[in-house]
Amino acid sequence: MAGDPPGSDAPPDRARGGPADRRRGPRLTGRGAIAGMLLVFFTGVLAADWLHWSPLADASFVLGSAAAAWYTKQRDLLTVAVSPPLLFFLVVICVKALTAAGNELLSTVEGAALTLANVAPWLFIGVVLSLEIGRASCRERV
């Protein structure tokens, strides 16, 4: 294209930050992505607890961690890739403490253990998905 140095093999869209960069939308910092994941996880787990429908908690984890990996700046991808399981654990503890009945400590511990055991396969899928999105994002920019 006009304006490219002679012999430049770079694709025109990437050379000027064209549609390849605009395709992904706004970029989040690591803190913004973590805050977004906390919001998605909390609302998903709370709604799943109230509705007694655990697939909602599964979906919130997978969608939250994948979206965070997709919209995060490249320099913050490592933080976003390792944070979702810990954040989800903390959210499950908080939601179970908020919705506990009877003996609060026992109810919180049992509810959290059962929820985490139920969600374990989806935690694995969500982490693998976010790692793959991050890896593809890094390859795309190289």
* pLDDT-derived band at 11, boundaries 50, 70, 90: low
Distance between CA atoms of residues 65 and 12, nearest Å: 31
What are the tens digits of pLDDT across the range 99-136? 988 889 999 999 999 999 999 999 999 999 999 988 88
Per residue in 13-58, pLDDT (tens digit) is 444 444 444 445 678 899 999 999 999 999 999 999 999 999 999 9
Distance CA 55, CA 6 (A): 55
Residue with the bigger pLDDT between 2 and 110: it is 110
CA 115 → CA 19, 42, 45, 62, 105, distances in Å? 42, 13, 9, 15, 15
CA distance 3 to 98: 60
